[in-house]
Protein backbone atom coordinates (compact mmCIF):
# COMPACT_ATOMS: atom_id res chain seq x y z
CA UNK A 1 0.00 0.00 0.00
CA UNK A 2 1.38 3.38 -0.94
CA UNK A 3 1.92 6.19 1.53
CA UNK A 4 -0.73 8.94 1.14
CA UNK A 5 1.94 11.61 0.85
CA UNK A 6 3.36 9.87 -2.22
CA UNK A 7 -0.05 9.65 -3.88
CA UNK A 8 -0.07 13.45 -4.08
CA UNK A 9 -3.71 14.16 -3.45
CA UNK A 10 -2.95 16.78 -0.78
CA UNK A 11 -2.85 19.45 -3.46
CA UNK A 12 -3.41 23.08 -2.53
CA UNK A 13 -4.37 23.78 -6.13
CA UNK A 14 -7.22 21.27 -5.99
CA UNK A 15 -8.53 22.85 -2.80
CA UNK A 16 -8.30 26.36 -4.23
CA UNK A 17 -10.06 25.33 -7.43
CA UNK A 18 -12.95 23.72 -5.55
CA UNK A 19 -13.29 26.71 -3.22
CA UNK A 20 -13.61 29.18 -6.10
CA UNK A 21 -16.24 27.27 -8.07
CA UNK A 22 -19.49 29.21 -8.55
CA UNK A 23 -22.45 26.93 -7.92
CA UNK A 24 -25.91 27.32 -9.37
CA UNK A 25 -28.90 26.91 -7.07
CA UNK A 26 -29.98 23.76 -8.91
CA UNK A 27 -26.56 22.23 -9.53
CA UNK A 28 -26.18 18.63 -8.44
CA UNK A 29 -23.27 17.85 -6.13
CA UNK A 30 -21.25 14.76 -7.05
CA UNK A 31 -21.15 12.76 -3.81
CA UNK A 32 -19.08 9.71 -2.93
CA UNK A 33 -19.82 7.56 0.13
CA UNK A 34 -17.12 6.09 2.38
CA UNK A 35 -18.24 3.15 4.51
CA UNK A 36 -21.33 1.33 3.27
CA UNK A 37 -22.59 -0.64 6.23
CA UNK A 38 -25.90 0.01 7.96
CA UNK A 39 -25.59 3.78 8.28
CA UNK A 40 -23.75 4.12 4.99
CA UNK A 41 -26.66 2.41 3.26
CA UNK A 42 -28.92 5.10 4.74
CA UNK A 43 -26.58 7.70 3.23
CA UNK A 44 -26.78 5.95 -0.13
CA UNK A 45 -30.58 5.75 -0.12
CA UNK A 46 -30.92 9.41 0.80
CA UNK A 47 -28.43 10.88 -1.68
CA UNK A 48 -29.59 8.66 -4.53
CA UNK A 49 -33.15 9.98 -4.14
CA UNK A 50 -32.23 13.68 -3.89
CA UNK A 51 -32.48 16.04 -6.83
CA UNK A 52 -29.50 17.97 -5.41
CA UNK A 53 -27.05 15.03 -5.35
CA UNK A 54 -25.47 12.57 -7.78
CA UNK A 55 -23.78 9.49 -6.28
CA UNK A 56 -20.55 8.93 -8.24
CA UNK A 57 -18.43 6.85 -5.87
CA UNK A 58 -18.75 4.01 -3.37
CA UNK A 59 -15.90 3.09 -1.04
CA UNK A 60 -15.62 0.27 1.47
CA UNK A 61 -12.89 -2.11 2.60
CA UNK A 62 -15.36 -4.96 2.09
CA UNK A 63 -15.92 -5.99 -1.53
CA UNK A 64 -19.31 -7.52 -0.71
CA UNK A 65 -20.49 -4.22 0.78
CA UNK A 66 -19.45 -2.33 -2.36
CA UNK A 67 -21.28 -4.77 -4.62
CA UNK A 68 -24.44 -4.64 -2.51
CA UNK A 69 -24.33 -0.85 -2.46
CA UNK A 70 -24.00 -0.63 -6.23
CA UNK A 71 -26.94 -2.97 -6.65
CA UNK A 72 -28.98 -0.65 -4.41
CA UNK A 73 -27.84 2.39 -6.39
CA UNK A 74 -28.77 0.70 -9.65
CA UNK A 75 -32.23 -0.04 -8.28
CA UNK A 76 -32.68 3.55 -7.07
CA UNK A 77 -31.27 5.43 -10.06
CA UNK A 78 -30.75 3.06 -12.97
CA UNK A 79 -26.99 3.58 -12.89
CA UNK A 80 -23.92 2.42 -10.97
CA UNK A 81 -21.04 4.35 -9.38
CA UNK A 82 -17.31 3.76 -9.44
CA UNK A 83 -16.11 1.45 -6.66
CA UNK A 84 -13.07 2.02 -4.45
CA UNK A 85 -11.42 -0.13 -1.79
CA UNK A 86 -9.10 2.67 -0.61
CA UNK A 87 -10.61 6.09 0.11
CA UNK A 88 -7.37 7.80 -0.91
CA UNK A 89 -7.89 6.70 -4.50
CA UNK A 90 -11.42 8.09 -4.38
CA UNK A 91 -10.19 11.42 -3.04
CA UNK A 92 -7.89 11.69 -6.05
CA UNK A 93 -10.89 11.56 -8.39
CA UNK A 94 -11.64 15.09 -9.62
CA UNK A 95 -15.20 14.07 -10.42
CA UNK A 96 -15.92 13.71 -6.68
CA UNK A 97 -16.96 17.03 -5.15
CA UNK A 98 -18.17 15.94 -1.71
CA UNK A 99 -17.82 12.85 0.43
CA UNK A 100 -20.21 11.35 2.95
CA UNK A 101 -18.43 9.36 5.65
CA UNK A 102 -20.05 6.48 7.53
CA UNK A 103 -16.97 4.59 8.65
CA UNK A 104 -16.29 3.35 12.19
CA UNK A 105 -15.45 6.14 14.66
CA UNK A 106 -11.70 5.66 14.53
CA UNK A 107 -11.67 6.66 10.85
CA UNK A 108 -13.85 9.80 11.06
CA UNK A 109 -11.05 12.31 11.59
CA UNK A 110 -8.50 11.00 9.12
CA UNK A 111 -11.08 10.44 6.39
CA UNK A 112 -12.38 13.99 6.89
CA UNK A 113 -8.88 15.49 6.95
CA UNK A 114 -7.74 13.67 3.82
CA UNK A 115 -10.95 14.60 2.00
CA UNK A 116 -10.63 18.28 2.94
CA UNK A 117 -7.00 18.36 1.87
CA UNK A 118 -8.04 16.87 -1.48
CA UNK A 119 -10.57 19.69 -1.99
CA UNK A 120 -13.74 17.79 -1.03
CA UNK A 121 -16.53 18.98 1.25
CA UNK A 122 -17.48 16.51 3.96
CA UNK A 123 -20.57 15.13 5.64
CA UNK A 124 -19.36 12.85 8.44
CA UNK A 125 -21.36 10.65 10.75
CA UNK A 126 -21.37 11.17 14.50
CA UNK A 127 -19.41 11.26 16.70
CA UNK A 128 -17.40 14.00 15.02
CA UNK A 129 -14.16 12.46 16.23
CA UNK A 130 -12.71 9.41 17.97
CA UNK A 131 -10.82 11.49 20.54
CA UNK A 132 -10.35 15.15 21.57
CA UNK A 133 -7.10 15.64 19.65
CA UNK A 134 -8.70 14.49 16.40
CA UNK A 135 -11.60 16.91 16.77
CA UNK A 136 -9.23 19.85 17.19
CA UNK A 137 -7.24 18.79 14.14
CA UNK A 138 -10.42 18.44 12.06
CA UNK A 139 -11.35 22.03 12.90
CA UNK A 140 -7.90 23.26 11.89
CA UNK A 141 -7.96 21.50 8.55
CA UNK A 142 -11.52 22.58 7.73
CA UNK A 143 -10.43 26.19 8.26
CA UNK A 144 -7.15 25.79 6.37
CA UNK A 145 -8.85 24.29 3.32
CA UNK A 146 -12.10 26.31 3.37
CA UNK A 147 -14.18 23.13 3.31
CA UNK A 148 -17.74 22.59 4.47
CA UNK A 149 -17.71 19.93 7.23
CA UNK A 150 -21.12 18.89 8.56
CA UNK A 151 -21.49 16.23 11.26
CA UNK A 152 -24.43 13.82 11.11
CA UNK A 153 -26.35 15.20 14.09
CA UNK A 154 -29.65 15.12 12.24
CA UNK A 155 -31.64 16.35 15.23
CA UNK A 156 -30.28 19.81 14.41
CA UNK A 157 -32.34 19.75 11.21
CA UNK A 158 -35.47 18.10 12.66
CA UNK A 159 -38.33 20.67 12.63
CA UNK A 160 -40.08 19.80 15.90
CA UNK A 161 -36.78 19.72 17.79
CA UNK A 162 -35.83 23.12 16.38
CA UNK A 163 -39.21 24.46 17.51
CA UNK A 164 -38.78 22.98 20.98
CA UNK A 165 -35.32 24.50 21.35
CA UNK A 166 -36.63 27.91 20.30
CA UNK A 167 -39.22 27.69 23.09
CA UNK A 168 -36.60 26.55 25.59
CA UNK A 169 -34.19 29.33 24.69
CA UNK A 170 -37.08 31.79 24.80
CA UNK A 171 -37.47 31.14 28.53
CA UNK A 172 -40.61 29.00 28.57
CA UNK A 173 -39.38 27.11 31.67
CA UNK A 174 -37.32 29.98 33.06
CA UNK A 175 -33.56 29.70 33.39
CA UNK A 176 -32.38 26.20 32.54
CA UNK A 177 -30.18 24.91 35.35
CA UNK A 178 -29.83 21.30 34.21
CA UNK A 179 -29.85 19.37 30.96
CA UNK A 180 -29.95 15.60 31.25
CA UNK A 181 -29.27 13.17 28.44
CA UNK A 182 -30.51 9.58 28.62
CA UNK A 183 -29.17 6.67 26.62
CA UNK A 184 -31.02 3.66 28.03
CA UNK A 185 -30.62 1.51 24.93
CA UNK A 186 -30.75 -2.21 25.53
CA UNK A 187 -27.54 -3.89 24.39
CA UNK A 188 -27.36 -7.67 24.54
CA UNK A 189 -24.13 -9.53 25.20
CA UNK A 190 -21.70 -9.80 22.29
CA UNK A 191 -20.34 -13.08 23.69
CA UNK A 192 -16.85 -14.32 22.95
CA UNK A 193 -15.12 -15.26 19.72
CA UNK A 194 -11.61 -16.43 18.93
CA UNK A 195 -9.48 -14.70 16.31
CA UNK A 196 -10.02 -16.11 12.83
CA UNK A 197 -8.72 -15.76 9.24
CA UNK A 198 -9.57 -12.54 7.42
CA UNK A 199 -12.68 -13.07 5.28
CA UNK A 200 -12.23 -13.04 1.51
CA UNK A 201 -12.72 -9.60 0.02
CA UNK A 202 -11.97 -7.70 3.26
CA UNK A 203 -8.96 -5.39 3.54
CA UNK A 204 -8.37 -5.71 7.28
CA UNK A 205 -5.33 -3.41 7.28
CA UNK A 206 -7.45 -0.58 5.82
CA UNK A 207 -10.26 -1.31 8.26
CA UNK A 208 -7.91 -0.89 11.23
CA UNK A 209 -6.25 2.20 9.77
CA UNK A 210 -5.10 4.41 12.69
CA UNK A 211 -5.89 1.68 15.24
CA UNK A 212 -3.28 -0.85 16.47
CA UNK A 213 -2.68 -3.84 14.24
CA UNK A 214 -4.54 -6.88 15.55
CA UNK A 215 -5.53 -10.27 14.24
CA UNK A 216 -8.97 -10.39 12.63
CA UNK A 217 -11.81 -11.02 15.04
CA UNK A 218 -15.44 -11.03 13.98
CA UNK A 219 -16.45 -9.12 17.11
CA UNK A 220 -14.14 -6.25 16.18
CA UNK A 221 -15.64 -5.96 12.72
CA UNK A 222 -19.28 -5.28 11.81
CA UNK A 223 -20.94 -2.94 14.35
CA UNK A 224 -19.41 -4.48 17.48
CA UNK A 225 -16.26 -2.37 16.95
CA UNK A 226 -18.22 0.19 19.04
CA UNK A 227 -17.44 -1.80 22.21
CA UNK A 228 -13.63 -1.88 21.88
CA UNK A 229 -11.41 1.06 22.85
CA UNK A 230 -9.21 0.72 19.74
CA UNK A 231 -12.06 1.67 17.41
CA UNK A 232 -15.10 2.80 19.40
CA UNK A 233 -16.24 4.96 22.30
CA UNK A 234 -18.95 2.83 23.91
CA UNK A 235 -22.61 3.76 23.73
CA UNK A 236 -22.02 7.28 25.04
CA UNK A 237 -20.15 7.90 21.76
CA UNK A 238 -22.58 5.86 19.70
CA UNK A 239 -26.28 6.45 20.39
CA UNK A 240 -25.40 8.74 23.29
CA UNK A 241 -23.64 11.48 21.32
CA UNK A 242 -27.00 12.40 19.74
CA UNK A 243 -28.53 13.09 23.15
CA UNK A 244 -25.32 14.77 24.31
CA UNK A 245 -25.58 17.18 21.40
CA UNK A 246 -29.22 17.93 22.22
CA UNK A 247 -28.34 18.49 25.90
CA UNK A 248 -25.66 21.04 24.89
CA UNK A 249 -28.12 22.60 22.45
CA UNK A 250 -30.60 23.13 25.26
CA UNK A 251 -27.92 24.88 27.32
CA UNK A 252 -27.05 27.18 24.42
CA UNK A 253 -24.12 25.13 23.10
CA UNK A 254 -21.54 26.03 25.75
CA UNK A 255 -17.84 25.33 25.27
CA UNK A 256 -15.80 23.08 27.56
CA UNK A 257 -17.03 22.67 31.16
CA UNK A 258 -15.03 23.54 34.27
CA UNK A 259 -14.99 19.95 35.50
CA UNK A 260 -16.18 16.53 34.34
CA UNK A 261 -16.59 13.27 36.22
CA UNK A 262 -17.98 9.86 35.27
CA UNK A 263 -18.34 6.49 36.94
CA UNK A 264 -19.89 3.22 35.93
CA UNK A 265 -18.87 -0.23 34.86
CA UNK A 266 -19.25 -3.26 32.67
CA UNK A 267 -21.95 -5.16 34.53
CA UNK A 268 -24.00 -8.28 33.86
CA UNK A 269 -22.77 -10.33 30.88
CA UNK A 270 -19.24 -11.75 30.91
CA UNK A 271 -18.06 -11.25 27.35
CA UNK A 272 -15.40 -9.53 25.22
CA UNK A 273 -16.84 -6.01 25.42
CA UNK A 274 -14.34 -3.48 26.81
CA UNK A 275 -16.44 -0.31 27.11
CA UNK A 276 -18.85 0.21 30.04
CA UNK A 277 -22.53 -0.65 29.66
CA UNK A 278 -23.46 1.62 32.57
CA UNK A 279 -22.08 5.14 32.92
CA UNK A 280 -23.14 8.27 34.79
CA UNK A 281 -21.40 11.54 33.90
CA UNK A 282 -21.69 15.10 35.20
CA UNK A 283 -20.32 18.33 33.73
CA UNK A 284 -20.09 21.60 35.68
CA UNK A 285 -20.55 24.86 33.76
CA UNK A 286 -20.65 27.07 36.84
CA UNK A 287 -24.23 28.35 36.73
CA UNK A 288 -25.71 25.15 35.26
CA UNK A 289 -24.88 21.50 34.75
CA UNK A 290 -25.20 18.73 32.24
CA UNK A 291 -25.82 15.17 33.40
CA UNK A 292 -25.65 12.12 31.17
CA UNK A 293 -26.51 8.51 31.84
CA UNK A 294 -25.94 5.33 29.83
CA UNK A 295 -27.65 2.03 30.69
CA UNK A 296 -27.32 -0.88 28.31
CA UNK A 297 -29.06 -3.31 30.64
CA UNK A 298 -32.75 -3.82 31.43
CA UNK A 299 -34.07 -0.59 32.90
CA UNK A 300 -37.12 1.61 33.28
CA UNK A 301 -37.89 5.02 31.83
CA UNK A 302 -37.25 8.34 33.53
CA UNK A 303 -39.13 11.60 33.97
CA UNK A 304 -42.67 10.24 33.54
CA UNK A 305 -45.67 12.19 34.87
CA UNK A 306 -47.61 9.93 37.19
CA UNK A 307 -51.04 11.56 36.87
CA UNK A 308 -52.80 12.85 33.78
CA UNK A 309 -52.79 16.69 33.97
CA UNK A 310 -56.28 18.19 34.34
CA UNK A 311 -55.87 20.33 31.23
CA UNK A 312 -54.36 17.58 29.09
CA UNK A 313 -55.60 17.43 25.49
CA UNK A 314 -58.00 14.64 24.65
CA UNK A 315 -56.27 11.40 23.84
CA UNK A 316 -53.12 12.18 25.81
CA UNK A 317 -52.18 9.12 27.88
CA UNK A 318 -51.83 9.37 31.62
CA UNK A 319 -48.05 9.06 31.44
CA UNK A 320 -47.00 10.77 28.19
CA UNK A 321 -43.32 10.39 28.91
CA UNK A 322 -41.48 7.15 28.51
CA UNK A 323 -37.99 8.54 28.12
CA UNK A 324 -35.33 5.92 27.63
CA UNK A 325 -33.44 7.65 24.81
CA UNK A 326 -33.87 11.40 24.90
CA UNK A 327 -33.44 14.52 27.01
CA UNK A 328 -34.87 16.25 30.05
CA UNK A 329 -34.43 19.97 30.71
CA UNK A 330 -35.06 21.52 34.12
CA UNK A 331 -35.62 25.24 34.63
CA UNK A 332 -36.53 27.60 37.44
CA UNK A 333 -40.18 27.58 36.30
CA UNK A 334 -40.76 24.14 34.84
CA UNK A 335 -39.30 21.28 32.85
CA UNK A 336 -39.28 19.80 29.39
CA UNK A 337 -38.93 16.35 27.89
CA UNK A 338 -37.74 15.67 24.34
CA UNK A 339 -37.21 12.48 22.38
CA UNK A 340 -37.86 11.23 18.86
CA UNK A 341 -41.56 10.94 19.71
CA UNK A 342 -41.92 14.65 20.38
CA UNK A 343 -41.60 17.05 23.31
CA UNK A 344 -43.73 18.10 26.27
CA UNK A 345 -43.35 21.20 28.44
CA UNK A 346 -44.62 21.39 32.02
CA UNK A 347 -44.93 24.52 34.13
CA UNK A 348 -45.08 25.23 37.84
CA UNK A 349 -45.38 23.12 40.96
CA UNK A 350 -48.44 21.33 39.60
CA UNK A 351 -46.70 20.01 36.46
CA UNK A 352 -49.24 21.71 34.21
CA UNK A 353 -48.80 20.62 30.61
CA UNK A 354 -48.57 23.86 28.62
CA UNK A 355 -47.14 22.75 25.28
CA UNK A 356 -46.35 19.65 23.29
CA UNK A 357 -45.29 18.79 19.77
CA UNK A 358 -45.03 15.56 17.81
CA UNK A 359 -42.95 14.82 14.72
CA UNK A 360 -44.46 15.64 11.35
CA UNK A 361 -45.34 12.54 9.38
CA UNK A 362 -43.01 11.79 6.51
CA UNK A 363 -40.29 14.20 7.64
CA UNK A 364 -36.81 12.62 7.63
CA UNK A 365 -34.32 14.55 9.78
CA UNK A 366 -31.34 12.82 8.17
CA UNK A 367 -32.44 13.83 4.68
CA UNK A 368 -33.06 17.43 5.81
CA UNK A 369 -29.62 17.49 7.42
CA UNK A 370 -27.97 16.24 4.24
CA UNK A 371 -29.88 18.79 2.18
CA UNK A 372 -28.63 21.49 4.55
CA UNK A 373 -25.08 20.26 3.92
CA UNK A 374 -25.50 20.30 0.14
CA UNK A 375 -27.00 23.79 0.29
CA UNK A 376 -23.91 25.02 2.15
CA UNK A 377 -21.67 23.28 -0.39
CA UNK A 378 -23.29 25.37 -3.12
CA UNK A 379 -23.42 28.66 -1.18
CA UNK A 380 -19.92 28.30 0.36
CA UNK A 381 -21.40 29.83 3.51
CA UNK A 382 -20.14 27.81 6.49
CA UNK A 383 -22.57 29.55 8.86
CA UNK A 384 -25.47 27.83 7.07
CA UNK A 385 -24.44 24.42 8.41
CA UNK A 386 -26.73 23.23 11.18
CA UNK A 387 -23.96 21.36 13.00
CA UNK A 388 -20.50 22.14 11.67
CA UNK A 389 -17.33 20.57 13.00
CA UNK A 390 -16.61 23.32 15.56
CA UNK A 391 -19.82 22.70 17.49
CA UNK A 392 -20.17 18.97 16.87
CA UNK A 393 -16.63 18.26 18.08
CA UNK A 394 -17.60 19.76 21.46
CA UNK A 395 -20.59 17.42 21.75
CA UNK A 396 -18.30 14.49 20.96
CA UNK A 397 -15.72 15.98 23.32
CA UNK A 398 -18.08 15.63 26.28
CA UNK A 399 -18.43 11.92 25.49
CA UNK A 400 -14.64 11.66 25.45
CA UNK A 401 -14.39 13.50 28.79
CA UNK A 402 -16.74 10.94 30.34
CA UNK A 403 -14.68 8.05 29.00
CA UNK A 404 -11.41 9.66 30.13
CA UNK A 405 -12.77 10.19 33.65
CA UNK A 406 -14.10 6.62 33.72
CA UNK A 407 -10.83 5.12 32.49
CA UNK A 408 -8.60 7.25 34.73
CA UNK A 409 -10.88 6.75 37.72
CA UNK A 410 -11.23 10.35 38.90
CA UNK A 411 -12.76 13.78 38.36
CA UNK A 412 -11.20 15.99 35.67
CA UNK A 413 -10.43 19.69 36.05
CA UNK A 414 -10.16 21.35 32.65
CA UNK A 415 -7.89 24.15 31.50
CA UNK A 416 -7.43 25.76 28.08
CA UNK A 417 -6.50 23.42 25.28
CA UNK A 418 -8.39 21.53 26.56
CA UNK A 419 -6.03 19.82 28.97
CA UNK A 420 -6.39 18.51 32.51
CA UNK A 421 -4.74 20.36 35.36
CA UNK A 422 -1.82 18.37 36.77
CA UNK A 423 -3.18 15.10 35.41
CA UNK A 424 -0.62 13.19 33.37
CA UNK A 425 -2.71 10.02 33.08
CA UNK A 426 -5.81 11.82 31.81
CA UNK A 427 -3.83 14.02 29.41
CA UNK A 428 -2.48 10.87 27.73
CA UNK A 429 -6.05 9.92 26.81
CA UNK A 430 -6.65 13.13 24.85
CA UNK A 431 -5.08 11.36 21.87
CA UNK A 432 -3.74 7.95 20.91
CA UNK A 433 -0.29 7.25 22.30
CA UNK A 434 0.72 5.95 18.86
CA UNK A 435 -0.89 6.25 15.43
CA UNK A 436 -0.08 3.39 13.08
CA UNK A 437 1.76 4.75 10.05
CA UNK A 438 0.73 5.96 7.53
CA UNK A 439 -2.61 6.57 9.26
CA UNK A 440 -1.44 9.44 11.44
CA UNK A 441 -3.72 12.26 12.62
**Please, what's the b/e burial string for 171-203 (b: 16 or more CB within 10 A of its CB; e: otherwise)?**
ebbeebebbbbbbbbebeebeeeeeeeeeeebe
Please report, for the domain that includes residue 259, its CATH number: 3.30.360.10
Q: Are residues 57 and 127 in the same domain?
A: yes
**Per-residue confidence (pLDDT) for residue 266, from 0 to 100:** 97
Distance CA 121, CA 379 (A): 12
Please report, for the domain that includes residue 76, its CATH number: 3.40.50.720
Inside any domain, residue 235 = yes
Sign of CA dihedral 10, 205, 121, 47: positive
Residue 84 is inside which H or E element, if any?
A: strand 82-84
- Taking 90 as the threshold, does the pLDDT of residue 306 lie above it? no
* Residue pLDDT, tens place only, 415-431: 988 999 889 999 999 99
Q: What is the mean pLDDT of residues 284-290?
A: 97
Q: Are residues 335 and 285 in the same domain?
A: yes
DSSP for residue 394 = H
- Taking 70 as the threshold, does the pLDDT of residue 4 lie above it? no
Is this structure's pTM higher than 0.85?
Answer: yes
- Taking 70 as the threshold, does the pLDDT of residue 22 lie above it? no
Residue 29 is inside which H or E element, if any?
A: strand 29-34
Percent of the chain scoring above 70 in pLDDT:
90
Q: What is the mean pLDDT of residues 185-213?
A: 97
Q: Are residues 42 and 147 in the same domain?
A: yes
Cα 438 from chain centroid? 25
- Taking 90 as the threshold, does the pLDDT of residue 382 lie above it? yes
Q: Are residues 347 and 383 in the same domain?
A: no
Q: What is the mean pLDDT of residues 231-241?
A: 98
Distance CA 100, CA 130 (A): 17
Distance CA 33, CA 72 (A): 13
Q: Which residues contact 157 (CB under 8 A, 6 or more apart)?
A: 365, 368, 369, 371, 372, 386
- The angle that helices 132-145 and 389-408 make with each other, rounded to 10 degrees, is 160
Whether residue 251 contacts residue 290, with contact meaning beta carbons closer than 8 Å, is answered with yes
Write the CA distances from 120 to 79, 100, 181, integer angstroms: 23, 10, 34
Q: What angle do CA 260, 233, 45 make, to 5 degrees?
A: 125
The residue from 357, 374, 397 where one domain ends is 357
Q: Are residues 252 and 177 in the same domain?
A: yes
Q: Are residues 168 and 64 in the same domain?
A: no
Whether residue 337 contacts residue 327, with contact meaning beta carbons closer than 8 Å, is answered with yes
| 304 — pLDDT class (breaks 50, 70, 90) | low
DSSP for residue 323 = B
Write the CA distances from 234 to 108, 294, 378, 441, integer angstroms: 15, 10, 35, 21
Inside any domain, residue 43 = yes
Q: Are residues 65 and 115 in the same domain?
A: yes
Distance CA 2, CA 235 (A): 34
Write the CA distances from 16 to 21, 29, 130, 383, integer angstroms: 9, 17, 28, 20
The residues with which 54 forms a beta bridge, in sequence order, are 30
Inside any domain, residue 9 = yes
Inside any domain, residue 419 = no
Write the CA distances from 417 to 293, 388, 390, 421, 427, integer angstroms: 26, 20, 14, 11, 11
The residues with which 394 forms a beta bridge, in sequence order, are none
**Per-residue confidence (pLDDT) for residue 17, from 0 to 100:** 46
* Residue pLDDT, tens place only, 351-380: 899 999 999 999 999 999 999 999 999 999
* Of 120, 157, 138, the residue nearest 32 (C-alpha): 120
Provide the domain count of the chain.
2
- Runs of H (alpha helix) within 221-327: 240-250
Inside any domain, residue 405 = no
Q: Are residues 167 and 267 in the same domain?
A: yes
Q: Are residues 297 and 374 in the same domain?
A: no
Inside any domain, residue 421 = no
- Regarding predicted confidence, which is higher, 417 or 327? 327
Q: What is the mean pLDDT of residues 392-417?
A: 96
Q: Which residues contact 235 (CB under 8 A, 6 or more apart)?
A: 183, 185, 187, 226, 275, 277, 294, 296
- Taking 90 as the threshold, does the pLDDT of residue 162 lie above it? yes
Inside any domain, residue 212 = no
Residue 116 belongs to domain spanning: 4-155+364-388
Residues in the chain: 441
What is the residue-wise DSSP string for 65-77?
HHHHHHHHHHHHH
**Per-residue confidence (pLDDT) for residue 316, from 0 to 100:** 41
* Of 231, 69, 35, the residue nearest 152 (C-alpha): 35
Q: Are residues 100 and 174 in the same domain?
A: no
Write the CA distances from 240 to 196, 259, 291, integer angstroms: 31, 20, 12
Inside any domain, residue 414 = no
* Of 113, 115, 125, the residue nearest 150 (C-alpha): 125
Q: Are residues 88 and 228 in the same domain?
A: no
- Residue 195 main-chain phi, psi, to 5 deg: -60, 155
- Runs of H (alpha helix) within 78-208: 87-92, 108-117, 132-145, 159-169, 204-208
Q: Are residues 368 and 383 in the same domain?
A: yes
The residue from 303, 335, 357 where one domain ends is 357
Amino acid sequence: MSNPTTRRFFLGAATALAATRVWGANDKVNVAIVGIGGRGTTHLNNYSKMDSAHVVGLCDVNQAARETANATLLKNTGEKAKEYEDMRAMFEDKNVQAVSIATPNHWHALATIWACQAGKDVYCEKPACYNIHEGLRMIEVAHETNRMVQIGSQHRSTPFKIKGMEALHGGIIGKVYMAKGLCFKRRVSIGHKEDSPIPAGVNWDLFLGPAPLRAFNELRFKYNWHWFWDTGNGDIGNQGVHEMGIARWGLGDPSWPKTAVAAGGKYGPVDDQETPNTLLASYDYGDRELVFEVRGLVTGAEGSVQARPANAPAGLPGSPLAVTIGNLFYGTEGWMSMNDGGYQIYKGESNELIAEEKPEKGVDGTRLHMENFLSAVRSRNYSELHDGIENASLSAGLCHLANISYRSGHKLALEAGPKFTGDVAANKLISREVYRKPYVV
